[in-house]
């Protein structure tokens, strides 16, 4: 309804603008005709013949010419090319009568309407009193050189051509056609006539006049008892007013909206016209229900799509979680197997140690026995230190790395503090093992470039302020400071040899980023050190 209102309002504004331009041009032309007529006519109307005016009107290109003069206390038509205009009184024409008196006083006409020029005033297009079925455009000229007002005027045909150009009636029909069966009627109403408004004046304008017609444009036949109430409300609020009603057994929706415009050319006290739109409420509901169903279907499809997407995400999440748990389980199984294997080897060694000790005792070689047992105490301390780590995966890893270091002729030392406080989830424990394993492997590779007696790796572990700290240091070539960042890039390696060159430190960096930890590199005087901190929370 608002879109239709704006469209009609726009068309009407163009029509009003066009009408205003046409009326001004016609008014100026009528003034020119009046001045030309004054040059040809005697200044005394008593010496002018009606036939002379008829001929002059034809020569000057207007339909009629009437001369108005003061007679007693009235101003009447004393001469005219139109017989109906002769002896017509203007005393009952409120606004026009005032304008006539101002002209005779050589004043600029000021009546709140019409077109005022020097010694001239033009009344808007309207119905003639002498011809109720005729619509005219008048001009009135008086400069004091005659004893009459010269009034040339035109009939409807001369000034209605602009409506053929603007075609607002056609525009309304096009709007109704474009909106199909929804719109039943569209019209522009004269709010003064429609609402029975009494305008100020001693002599009311006849209802048959053009200015008093109820419908300016379009048609208005579907009426109801509440229409004026809502129309008046729209005039007060200056907004569009909607309501539904029953007309001829049909449910309809009506709307009234005022047009803010300077279209008030007939009376300065008049009100703005109204746009009235009548719609088939049943058809509106059908269209709205159809749109609602389309919306519901669209929302349903979107909801279904969202469910599918969320389900897919959950499935992927669960699958990844299952794979992660499977990897953890496999890592745990592997580490436990390594631990059991180490225990079996130590059990086998323990039996051998018992047999050797028994042999030393039998042979009473006590000095050799003491040396032998001293070495056994060192191995037992190593096992005890590892058992104090509260994570079987880390125990298995360190046991395996100590065995590997021994086979590579690397002196591998370790120092763990407060590791009995260590509590890791299965997934996090696996990632910590990956970090420590890669750093130890990286340290082993670096020491392999040295002679056996210089190969030294040290692993430290501690828990400080709910953070797990690891320090892995090794002897070997220094890493230039400019490479301290690049060594964590995938595919980059500063080592001459080693497995998975360029991958281990990259994996370590990614895992530390995942757990929002930190890693620092120090390398000088033949010792390289990696310091890792990971939050346990």
Which sequence spans correspond to the domains of the chain? Answer: 2-164, 166-282, 388-537
Q: Give per-residue pLDDT as tens, 452-483.
A: 999 999 999 998 888 899 999 999 999 888 88
- Smallest Cα–Cα separation from 172: which of 3, 2, 7? 7
Fold of 166-282: Beta-Lactamase (3.30.450)
pLDDT-derived band of residue 261, with 50, 70 and 90 as boundaries?
Answer: low
Q: Are 43 and 150 in contact (CB under 8 A)?
A: no
Q: Are 456 and 475 in contact (CB under 8 A)?
A: yes
Q: Which helix (H) or strand (E) holds 216?
A: strand 215-218
Euclidean distance between CA atoms 331 and 344, whole angstroms: 20
* Confidence (pTM): 0.46
Would you give the distance in Å from CA 26 to the centre of its chain? 50
The reported pLDDT for the residue numbered 133 is 64
Euclidean distance between CA atoms 265 and 332, whole angstroms: 97
pLDDT surpassing 70 at residue 76: yes
pLDDT surpassing 90 at residue 368: no
pLDDT-derived band of residue 208, with 50, 70 and 90 as boundaries?
Answer: low
The reported pLDDT for the residue numbered 473 is 94
* Best-predicted range by mean pLDDT (159-163, 236-240, 311-315): 311-315
The reported pLDDT for the residue numbered 49 is 92
pLDDT surpassing 50 at residue 490: yes
Are domains 2-164 and 388-537 of this chain identical in fold?
no
**Three state DSSP letters for 131-184:** CCCCEEEEEEECCCCCCCEEEEEEEHHHHCHHHHHHCHHHHHHHHHHHCHHHEE
Euclidean distance between CA atoms 281 and 248, whole angstroms: 13
* Best-predicted range by mean pLDDT (143-152, 233-242, 323-332, 396-405): 143-152
The reported pLDDT for the residue numbered 491 is 73
**Which CATH class name applies to 388-537?**
alpha beta
CATH 1.10.10 fits 2-164, yes or no: no
Q: Give per-residue pLDDT as tens, 393-413.
A: 787 788 788 888 888 999 988
């Amino acid at each position: 309804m608002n879109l239709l209102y704006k469209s009609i309002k726009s068309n009407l504004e163009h029509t009003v603008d066009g009408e205003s331009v046409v009326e001004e041009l016609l008014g100026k032309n009528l003034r020119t005709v009046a001045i030309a007529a004054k040059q040809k006519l005697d200044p005394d109307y008593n010496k002018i013949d009606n036939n002379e005016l008829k001929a002059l009107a034809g020569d000057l290109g207007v339909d009629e010419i009437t001369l108005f003069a003061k007679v007693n206390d009235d101003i009447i038509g004393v001469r005219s090319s139109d017989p109906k205009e002769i002896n017509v009184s203007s005393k009952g024409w409120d606004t026009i009568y005032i304008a006539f008196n101002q002209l005779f006083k050589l004043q600029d006409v000021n009546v709140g309407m019409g077109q005022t020029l020097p010694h001239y005033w033009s009344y808007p297009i309207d119905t003639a009193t002498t011809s109720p079925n005729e619509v005219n455009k008048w001009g009135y000229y008086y400069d004091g050189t005659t004893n009459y007002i010269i009034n040339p005027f035109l009939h409807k045909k001369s000034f209605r051509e602009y409506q053929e150009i603007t075609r607002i009636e056609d525009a309304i029909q096009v709007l109704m056609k474009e909106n199909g069966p929804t719109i039943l009627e569209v019209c522009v109403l004269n709010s003064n006539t429609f609402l029975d408004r009494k305008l100020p004046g001693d002599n009311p304008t006849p209802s048959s006049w053009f200015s008093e017609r109820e419908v300016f444009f379009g048609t208005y036949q579907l009426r109801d008892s509440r229409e004026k109430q809502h129309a008046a409300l729209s005039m007060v609020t200056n907004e569009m007013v909607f309501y539904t009603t029953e007309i001829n057994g049909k449910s309809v929706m009506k709307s009234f909206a005022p047009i803010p415009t300077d279209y008030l050319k007939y009376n300065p006290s008049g009100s703005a016209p109204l746009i009235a739109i009548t719609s088939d409420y049943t058809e509106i509901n059908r269209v709205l229900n159809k749109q609602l169903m389309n919306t519901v279907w669209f929302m349903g499809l979107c909801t279904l799509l969202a469910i599918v997407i969320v389900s897919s995400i959950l499935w992927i999440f669960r699958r990844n979680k299952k794979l992660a748990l499977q990897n953890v389980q496999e890592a745990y199984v592997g580490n436990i197997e390594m631990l059991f294997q180490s225990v079996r080897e130590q059990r086998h060694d323990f039996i051998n140690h018992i047999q050797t000790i028994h042999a030393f005792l039998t042979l009473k070689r006590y000095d050799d026995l003491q040396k032998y047992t001293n070495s056994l105490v060192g191995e037992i301390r190593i096992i005890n230190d590892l058992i104090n780590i509260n994570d079987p995966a880390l125990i298995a890893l360190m046991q395996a790395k100590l065995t590997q270091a021994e086979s590579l002729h690397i002196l591998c030392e370790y120092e763990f503090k407060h590791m009995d406080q260590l509590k890791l989830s299965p997934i996090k424990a696996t990632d910590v093992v990956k970090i420590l394993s890669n750093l130890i492997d990286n340290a082993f590779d670096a020491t392999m470039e040295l002679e056996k007696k210089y190969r030294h790796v040290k692993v430290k572990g501690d828990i400080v302020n709910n953070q797990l700290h690891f320090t892995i240091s090794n002897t070997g070539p220094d890493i230039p400071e400019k490479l301290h960042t690049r060594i964590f890039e995938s595919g980059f390696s500063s080592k001459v040899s080693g497995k998975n060159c360029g991958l281990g430190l990259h994996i370590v960096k990614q895992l530390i980023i995942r757990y929002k930890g930190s890693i620092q590199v120090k390398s000088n005087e033949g010792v390289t050190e990696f310091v890792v901190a990971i939050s346990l929370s």
